[in-house]
Amino acid sequence: MSTLKIYRASAGSGKTYTLTREFINLLFAHDEDYRHTLAVTFTNKATAEMKGRIIKSLYELWTTNLHSDWMAELAQKAGSEEAVRRKAEKILHLLLHDFSRFSISTIDSFFQKIIRAFIQELGLFSGYKTELNNTKILQLAVDRLVMKLGQPDKQELRQWLINFSYERMEGGKSWNIADEIMQLGRQVNAETFQGFHASFIQKLNDKLFLESYKNELKRVVDTFNDTMVTYGQSMMSMMKAHGVTWDDFIKKSNTPFKVIENLALHKNFDKLPNLKAYLNAPDTWYLKTNKQAESKILPLYHAGLNNQLSEVIEFYDKHLPAYNTANVILQNFNALAILNDIANEMDMICKEEGIFLLSNSNRLLNRIIDENDSPFIYEKSGTRYKHFMIDEFQDTSTLQWSNFRPLIGNSLAADDYSLLVGDVKQSIYRWRNSDWKLLAGQVKTDFEHQGYFEKNLDTNWRSRETIIAFNNRVFEKASNVLQADFNADLVHADAALSQKWGDRIVEAYHDVKQKVAAKNIHSGGQVHIRFIEGNTKAEYQEMAVKLAIQKVDDIISQGYSFKDICFLVRKTDEARLVTNALLSGQYSSRPYPVVSNEALVLGSSAAVMMVVNQLCHILSHENQVYKAYIDLYSSVLTSDESDGVEADLLHTVIDTKNILQLKGLPLIDLVQRLVQQLPPNRHVSEGVFLQAFTDIVIEYVQNEMADLAGFIEWWEAEGKMRSVSVPEDQDAIRVMTIHKSKGLEFETVIMPFLNWELEDSKHKAILWCEDPFSKLDYIPVRFDKKLLDTYFANNYLDEHLHNYVDNLNLLYVAFTRACAGLFCFCPLPGEKFKTIGDLLFLSLSDPMVRRDFEIIADVQSQQQLGNDDSFLVGDLPPCALHSPSHQAQTPEFSTWPLPMMHTWPYADRVAIFKESEGFMDQSSRLQINKGKQMHRLFELIKTHEDIERAVNQLVLEGWITTDDVDHMQSYVRQLIAAPEVALWFKAGLVVLNERSLLSARGTFRPDRVVLDDKVLKIIDYKFGDVHAKEHERQVANYVNLAARMKYEKVEGYLWYVSENKVVKVTPSHPTLF
């Protein structure tokens, strides 16, 4: 039995390098193990990079004039470098000629492959379409559910939703429940909900049971409220009977005893515990100098007010958690009751439309496996894997891991190889169900019996020394700052909770310190953090963008190229803000070239929006809003036209009557006609947007229906946020979100907006908690600090911890992209600790942290530490990627005018295929079908011994019936008995049926190729009666192409099967392909 390898790979520590080395070592041990090794990553880009790295490394090992880092290690095992080269050559050829079995893929692609092998068992259609957009299906399900409320079988649901609306109105909210249903409805596609047992899901269908439980929860709330009011009214009566007013108490009208009035009036009574300090101490109830108050309050105290206060506080402390818990459950209870109805409706839509939601793949595969340790289900997909490598393991979800765990367990039991690579600090995809706790500890628990080998890759090969030193110290301090703030919520928690959560954040960052690679010692580097004052968010952003672009000028002056600079932001709207500022030259002497897929969205193009509003006008021509938008965009589009623009061109753009005449055209042609009518300069300046828009229209028509109304709805929901794909290998400044930057590196990183919240105050997560009242298995509650005073305190702390770690991880991923320079702009901290900028400020304000950086600055002979609103350490080194003569120069960039986007009329692009079955009579169709049938039959036959098996296969595939078997076998035997034909079907030949010949001009596919004693024979079957010269030219082309493949002798034959006539083809001259 082997042990599991776990590599903890911090940023820049050579993760891909390590994976490549491990993969190549496997191949050198068994050169065909690429067929039995599965490596999974989480993006297509990472998949391509890893495949390319392995191929490149093998090529370096094979080629004598290239250096390989692994030659010495492999040569020691193989005996010599020459042996390594021979082995590398063999492996490389095997891989390239069997590339489809080179199994490096994304985890979603792998699971999809398995699911396709089980489509029958899962009840899926063989041609199902994978859908990534859950929200679209969810919205459709909710709409359909509402439309069905009038049906007799939906009476319970209808009444429930009516009561739901009434309760919202009684609570002062809108009667419209759609938003609340949609918010909770998103949980249907969450892994947590999908992992629930069927018995719990079934309970959600029982509306009578749910109504009964809801009433019990209301009784808990009402009983608590009534008791508090009763106590309050009783104490107020006692005060009145003794003539005591608020002025008689300490602090008079601001007295803490005034909470008694709140009890009586059923107002906020959360300050009741403050009266604990006054129990059994009447002399603290009034000022000792106020003898009149003393004469009133002491009798009141002895009359029982103290006793009642003691009782109500005891009742409050004992029953408050249950009261708060019931209130929290009731907030989402009405929406919870229809979750299963929504799930069923979504399933029905998917079945009707032949859709498979990608978010369901983990659940379905988990259902197939059902904790079965046997990997037979994976073998059914046609592949038997022995070795497993999982990259970015911190981004694996719980369900994904439960699907992989049996495979890895089986691999280790068979003494094969399995490897996990990841880094808790780079887990930033929790919204995709990733769970860093798997890597943090769960995986070691799962394989404690088999054993595991754990190694920390602790050397940073990417960044310069100052960057590494800064990140080491700051993230060590930041994790402690966050832990201290988190622990403040544990003050009133019990010992068990304090022990469980008291050091989780610090533990997640225990391995944050990295060593500097030998090549980067004394390499310099610069970090500059500025804290900006701004009265509003807009003021702060404007100042931050201005300073950030000025920093670009400084970087360029040090010899760096535009592509060496990357702006990292949290949100796409921030990316657009930065991109527009860079392109406009607003804060610099000139515009800068920019590459940003996040910012170049189609909805930002005036030309595209003009076409969209024209489409909307065609769909609803009576709507004057669309006409107004057309006029608006017309003025924008024609504002910079030259004076020589013809009047009829402008009239074409603006005239909406002309547009309506296009109404009957197909959607694709309609769009292209509208694009045609735009001013010519827009075809150039916005041609890339128009082309991308045309492409997504074609994509929509292919995947959906060619329906204008449906397209407009899709455009508003998601299409307008589609981005223009921009090539990455350009000398331009990159602008991207932090999530997109993961795995990348840049010489310099600029972060203009370090102001995101540590916990999102607007969009609070739904937590699934065990039901403390034991009626349902789980209850959805909304994340809020108030949960600390409920039975859900543990769930709150878990989510609170994850929020803190998620945002600290985002900062870590962003900061570790930088190689030479890191430049950040944060708002000055406010009174409350709430943003990532506040965290950075507190971390850098620590005297010990600043002392450490003073030492670094002193060692490098730099005095660079700033004042309270700025932190600067190190110098930005001149760019080593450029020559000294170039370093002091500002790089120039050129622009090329885009060619005009051309479109063609519909009639010129569509031709009728007259050879289709619709243009044939019955006899012609029968003849064609007969030819297809015979082609398939001879594809299955290599020798005369294959005839019976091939005919039976035709029966299985539905080409013929069992009644035709004897006749077909007899007919084929008669055909191949002819002397010349029999030579092609004798035993001992190398036969290739329906194999492709590749050439520079395309792919060609002869029916049969036979290699007989160094003679290559190419045979093409014809099942019709017509002998055409085109047939001979076709085979002659095959012969010429094969002759160029260095075969000594090539012969070509036409076999007219119905006549059983063979025609030898002799090419008169070579034909170019």
* Residue 39 annotated as lining a ligand binding site: no
When pLDDT is averaged across residues 803-812 and rounded to a whole number, the result is: 95
| β-sheet bridge partners, residue 1002 | 999
DSSP conformational letter for 42? S
1054 vs 861: CA distance, rounded Å: 85
Contact status, residue 676 vs residue 616, Cβ threshold 8 Å = no
CB 285 within 8 A of CB 257: yes
Do the strands 459-460 and 515-516 form a parallel or antiparallel pair, or are they unpaired? parallel
Known binding residue 706? Answer is: no
Which of 105, 104, 119, 97 is CA-nearest to residue 381? 119
Residue 208: which H helix or E strand, with range? helix 207-241
Instruction: Note whether 335 and 779 are within 8 A (CB).
Output: no
d(CA 810, CA 959): 59
On whether 10 is known to bind a ligand per the annotation, the reply is yes
Find the helix packing angle between 44-62 and 81-97, rounded to 10°: 140
Scan for tokens 């669309």, then name that residue.
626
Asked whether residue 29 is marked as a ligand-binding residue, the answer is: no
Domain spanning 4-124+375-460, CATH architecture: 3-Layer(aba) Sandwich (3.40)
| Residue 13 annotated as binding site | yes
**H or E stretch at 539:** helix 537-557
Q: Is 14 one of the annotated binding-site residues?
A: yes
Which of 370-374, 657-661, 942-946 is predicted least confidently? Answer: 370-374
Check whether 386 has a pLDDT greater than 70: yes
Percentage of the chain beyond pLDDT 70 is: 87
Query: Above 90 in pLDDT, residue 422?
Result: yes
Q: What is the model's pLDDT at position 783? A: 92
What percentage of residues in the chain have a pLDDT greater than 90? 38
d(CA 582, CA 605): 17
- DSSP H helices, 425-492, are 437, 443-446, 465-487
Q: Which residue has the tokens 């057309």?
A: 630
Query: Tell me: the pLDDT tens digits for 600-635?
Result: 788 888 888 888 888 888 888 777 777 777 777 676
From residue 858, how far is each of 485, 530, 861 by CA, in Å? 33, 21, 5
Q: What is the pLDDT of residue 904?
A: 62
Question: Residue 628 has what pLDDT?
Answer: 76
* Residue 419 exposed, middle or buried by CB count within 10 Å (0-12, 13-18, 19+): buried
What stretches of 301-397 show up as alpha helix (H) in DSSP?
306-336, 339-353, 361-369, 376-379
CA atoms in the 13 A half-sphere facing the CB of 1014: 3
Q: Are 724 and 689 contacting, i.e. CB atoms less than 8 angstroms apart?
A: yes
- Higher per-residue pLDDT: 174 or 268: 268
- E strand or H helix at 60, and its extent? helix 44-62
**Strand ranges across the sheet with 565-569:** 594-595, 733-737, 565-569, 746-751, 818-827, 525-532, 870-875
Give the tokens for residue 330: 């009731």
Tokens found for residue 569: 């932001």
What integer pLDDT is reported at residue 866 of this predicted model?
43
pLDDT of residue 120: 67
What pLDDT, on the 0 to 100 scale, is given for residue 637? 63
At 273, which amino acid appears?
A: P
Per-residue pLDDT band for 138 (boundaries 50, 70, 90) equals confident
Give the mean pLDDT of 371-389: 66
CA-nearest of 952, 934, 1037 to 993 is 934
pLDDT band at 645 (very low <50, low <70, confident <90, very high): very low
- Residue 88: phi and psi, rounded to 5, are -60, -40
Strand 1015-1022, strand 1008-1012: pairing: antiparallel
Tell me which residue of 1003, 996, 1002 sits closest to 1018, measured CA to CA.
Answer: 996
Q: How far apart are CA 438 and CA 4, in angstroms?
A: 14
Lowest-pLDDT range, 88-97, 168-177, 631-640, 767-776? 631-640
Selected residue with higher pLDDT from 1047 and 174: 1047
Predicted pLDDT of residue 682:
78
> 891 φ, ψ to 5°?
-65, 140
Q: Of all helices (H) and strands (E), which one includes residue 218? A: helix 207-241
C-alpha pair distances (Å), 268 with each of 167, 257, 533: 21, 13, 37
- 962 pLDDT tier (thresholds 50, 70, 90): confident
Indicate the domain borders of the chain.
Answer: 4-124+375-460, 129-204+337-353, 222-333, 467-509+525-597+730-880, 602-721, 917-1065
Instruction: Identify which of 200, 212, 298, 211 has the alpha carbon closest to the alpha carbon of residue 248.
Output: 298
What torsion do the CA atoms of 745, 748, 753, 759 make, to the nearest 10 degrees?
A: 40
SS3 label, residue 871: strand
Q: Is 1027 helix (H, G, I), strand (E, B) or coil?
A: coil
439 with 422: CB under 8 angstroms?
yes
What residues does 779 pair with on adjacent strands? 769
SS3 letters for 604-660?
HCHHHHHHHHHHHHHHCCCCHHHHHHHHHHHHHHHCCCCCCCCHHHHHHHHCHHHHH
**Same fold? 4-124+375-460, 467-509+525-597+730-880:** yes
Q: What is the residue whose two structure tokens read 């989510």? A: 799
Sign of the Cα torsion 326, 330, 332, 338 reads positive
Q: Is 16 annotated as a binding residue?
A: yes
Q: Residue 502, annotated ligand binder?
A: no
Quick check: 580 and 752 in contact, CB under 8 A? no
The pTM is what? 0.80
Rg over alpha carbons for the chain, rounded to the nearest Å, is 37
CATH domain 467-509+525-597+730-880 topology = Rossmann fold (3.40.50)
What pLDDT is attached to residue 927?
65
The C-alpha atoms of residue 643 and residue 330 are separated, in whole angstroms, by: 67
Could you say which architecture CATH assigns to the domain 917-1065?
Alpha-Beta Complex (3.90)
CA distance 426 to 434: 11
Range of weakest confidence among 152-166, 847-861, 1017-1031: 847-861
pLDDT of 51 > 60? The answer is yes
Give the span between the Cα atoms of 700 and 696, in whole angstroms: 6
Model pLDDT, residue 197: 76
Between residues 115 and 967, the one the model is more confident about: 967
Q: What is the pLDDT of residue 216?
A: 95
State the distance between the two ends of the chain, measured CA to CA, in whole angstroms: 56
Burial (CB count within 10 angstroms: exposed 0-12, middle 13-18, buried 19+), residue 198: exposed
Residue ranges with strand state E in 408-472: 418-422, 452-457, 459-460
pLDDT per residue over 737-776, tens digit each?
999 999 899 999 999 999 999 988 777 888 999 999 999 9
Contact 771, 779 (CB under 8 A): yes
Per residue in 704-716, pLDDT (tens digit) is 777 888 888 888 8
Contact 781, 328 (CB under 8 A): yes
**Separation CA 300–CA 283 (nearest Å):** 12
SS (H, E, C) 818-869: EEEEEEEEEECCCCCCCEHHHHHHHHHHCHHHHHHHHHHHHHCCCCCCCCCC
- Residue 835 to residue 841: CA distance in whole angstroms: 10
pLDDT, mean over the chain? 84
Nearest to 904 by CA among 567, 672, 610: 672
